[in-house]
Chain A
Amino acid sequence: DGGITQSPKYLFRKEGQNVTLSCEQNLNHDAMYWYRQDPGQGLRLIYYSQIVNDFQKGDIAEGYSVSREKKESFPLTVTSAQKNPTAFYLCASTMDSYNSPLHFGNGTRLTVT
């Protein structure tokens, strides 16, 4: 079955540590996205990538970094510079960035203490 896999489902880190969230898709989609959701809030775009080796900042990119070395993979690193890293992180993909709805993974809940 094709889909988007985010792992792990729950992640716990100490403050000051960088942490990388995994996102893999086998849908052969070109574009991939990272969103953040906080309680009672909508989804906010962190980074997106339309093709391999290229990515753009979203609305809240500060404190995050990404890479897109392979079409299937778009890992997100939450750095120690991110002031409020505790959140629910969602990865998504589309065949292209136009006219195709987003397919989301099931998310990773990151807790930093």
Chain B
Amino acid sequence: DQQVKQNSPSLSVQEGRISILNCDYTNSMFDYFLWYKKYPAEGPTFLISISSIKDKNEDGRFTVFLNKSAKHLSLHIVPSQPGDSAVYFCAASDVVGSQGNLIFGKGTKLSVKP
């Protein structure tokens, strides 16, 4: 039973437009969420995180929104650039800041077209 779901396996966006990647979770005990980005043949790299006491966290072109009542979070990339083309993983934990028990989604492959 998937606790973290990324229902869109892929997303294609034009350069300069907004990319919105979605993630749903089922465990109401999750209170810390992260996004990782992965290029082919490389390990994932940390992008941005949010704890459940917030509903938004911003870092440059990347913003994560958290809707606890809907058990939904989203990653917005504005403006999208070709270098953003990668697989994005959503991850969740039931202990704020803890990395030891992260649950990952299956990932969404983002393609940003010039």
Contacts and interface: CB of A to CB of B under 8 A. Distances in A.
Does A pair with B?
yes
Interface of A: 4, 6, 9, 31, 33, 35, 40-45, 48, 50, 56, 90, 92, 94, 97-107
A99 B97 contact: yes
Contacts of B59: none
B91 to A, nearest CB: 8
Interface string B64-101: 00000000000000000000000001010001011111
Given A43-B44, A104-B44, A107-B42, 4 more contacts: A4-B43, A31-B100, A94-B99, A101-B49
Interface residues of B, number: 26
Interface of A is mostly: strand
Interface of B: 4, 6, 9, 34, 36, 41-46, 49, 89, 91, 95, 97-107
A106 B99 contact: no
B97 A90 contact: no
Contacts of A107: 41-43
A44 B104 CA distance: 7
29 contacts: A4-B43, A31-B99, A35-B104, A41-B106, A42-B4, A42-B6, A42-B103, A42-B107, A43-B44, A45-B102, A90-B44, A92-B43, A92-B99, A94-B99, A97-B98, A98-B95, A98-B97, A99-B97, A100-B97, A101-B34, A101-B46, A101-B99, A102-B99, A102-B102, A103-B46, A106-B41, A106-B43, A107-B41, A107-B42
Contacts of B45: 104
A43 to B, nearest CB: 4
Contact of A42 (B95, B98, B104): B104
B6 to A, nearest CB: 8
A93 to B, nearest CB: 9
